[in-house]
Each structure stands twice: as C-alpha cells, then as structure tokens.
Structure 1
C-alpha cells in the first residue's frame, strides 16, 4: 500500500546543450528551474530531497538535503533512483519515493496521487506517460526495491530505467493529458526550450 512518499528531484544531467553546468540553476522568470520543480513537488509529498553529484554546497540556498549517486559508475537516472531508494530506506515510515526531473517544471500537480492510485501490489512501479510517450524519470518506486535495483546494476543489467522496470518488475503506466499542444512533461534541453519555458511562466502569471 502506498502510504508515505518522499520526492526525489533528479539533477544529475550535465546540460551540455545549454553550455554545461547545473541545468536546474537556470533562471525562469523570478525563479530557477530547480525552485519551480521543488515548489510543484513539495505539496504532493512528505519530504523533498535533491539527487546531484559533486559539491553539494552549490545548492545550499535551496534548503534541500542533497544525496549523491551511491556508486562511482555513471548510471544516469538509474543512479539517482537508487540513491533515492537507499536514502528512503534509512528513514522511518517511507514506503515509496517519487522521482521527477530537475528540468521539467510543468509536470502535473496531481502526479503523485495518480501514480499512487495506479499501483495494485506493494512492489509495483508506476511511470507517467503523455502523448504516447513514457517518461521513466517520473515514477513511483517502492522503497523495498533498493536491493533489487542494486542487484540489477551489479549483474550488468541494462542501464535504461525502462529496461529495469519492464524486465524485473510489474509496471503501471499512467496517462496524463496534454494542455493543448503542450506536453505536461516538456523538459528543457536547449536555449530555445528555455525561452519557451520563460514564456509559459509569464502566461501562467497573467
């Protein structure tokens, strides 16, 4: 049963198409991407933590606990998911984590509720889908899967999130509707995406 859920913001990308550095620190209006993502996630969960590697002090102003990938190998989102599961396993009463991307500031306000409703078994995984595309970074993960995911990695399993989820676990896919032509999981990869996001934020405030 889904009872207590923590939110994990995955911020491990290198933002090469935006010139490098931390994508979440890019400004969108009066806030950074990371601030927008955290503000959208916080009302949906009991705790919010940030998964990022390197010096955690660069995120000190956000007031979030920063957790690094637990393995030296670069694993992409799987490393961040494992970090979140390991962190959650050390806390009391956390049954699940939900993961979101630091570069996707307009994800649904009912993301966590709808993912939670979709799972039937305590060890199910739920992933978001929109416009026919699965978004594996936006998922609900039982804390109890930490050891299983670690074993998948240690055994040389494929590093794609969907490979782990689809091959070893039962997955519920949850469809979220687009707002017109705007995908709610629109993510920012390029300067053009950043400009589009700034326009979207301005329109939200009008």
Structure 2
C-alpha cells in the first residue's frame, strides 16, 4: 500500500524507512552544497539517494518538501546546549559552536546549504525557522541554570539572550560575508552577556543582577 505524503515531523520511522529518509537527506544536502537550490532537482536526489523519483514525489511531494524534511530530520538530533557551570562560558561555547558549524569544512555544508535555500524558497525558510526555534528553545535550560546560580534575573528572555549571541555571527556570515573566527565568537558572547547584565533582556519590572566584580589583577 502506497504511503501518502506527510508533513515533516509527523512521523518517526525506523528500519528501512529511516535509512531511506537518511539517504534522501544526504542527497539533498550534497545537491544543495554542490549546485545550489536553483539547480537542485528531484531527479538529482533520486540518482544520488537510490530512491526512485516516483517514491520521492509520493512521499515528499516536491523539492521543497524534500528540503523541509531534511531540515526536520536534522532537528531530531540529540543536541543540547553547553553546560560549563558558568553563564559566560556557556555563551562562549555556544558562539564557538555557531562558528564551527559554518566554517569547519567537515560540518559546514549542510547548514550553509539550508540557509542559502531559505533565501530562495518560502517553505525552506519556514523549515529553517522551525529548526532554529527548536534549537533556541533547547537553550532555555542554559539560561534557567544561570538564573538558579544568580547569574541572571528570573524572567529574563532566554531566547533573546541566545539569539543575541548568534546574531552578529550570522550577520557576518550571510549579509556582509565577512570572516568569522574564535575571537569574534568570544566577542559576541561577551557582548550578549554585558547586555544581559545591563537588563536588556529582562521582562518588564525585572531588575538586572548586580554586576560581578572585576577579576583581580
């Protein structure tokens, strides 16, 4: 019996179906990285995944469905935010992960390809937004731990804080196309932390925690 097309994220298949889905995702990523969204075709995905194109059309609908499901599959991983015991070090580690994910040749192909596709496809943009919404939601525990340690006020907007860490990096990566490195990652983390300590991300009526004393020379 043929499967009807389903929205990404509504099914968690296993066995051969999972292997098929993974093979299709790999082909989508390879095609995006090598040829870009405009040149990627269902035929390319079929050839490089070993899945017949009629199956691809039946299960994913079209190319945008393939891209959206590839992003959905990426969001099913077990990623969790850093837990160093310090808000500053957690934010630094988070920033370094962002830099590595877009500059490490072994890791950069997939995220770069998906961002590029999001600029040209509304459905890819929606899928990318959902992916990062999930990522930032997972980071709430990072901020919750900081609140428990007294490093951040109760009611702080966790999503705004972690977005502030990533925003300067994404701006350079995808708007000005400037290089990013570890030093910039540290700068972004420290700037976001300074803003948090100044109360920039506090809920109305919340006060910022007392600033930490400077380290002794």
TM-score, length basis structure 1:
0.29
Name the structure with the higher strand share: 1
Q: Which has the higher contact order (CA 8 A, sep 6+)?
A: 1
TM-score, length basis structure 2:
0.28
Structure (1 or 2) with the larger CA radius of gyration: 2
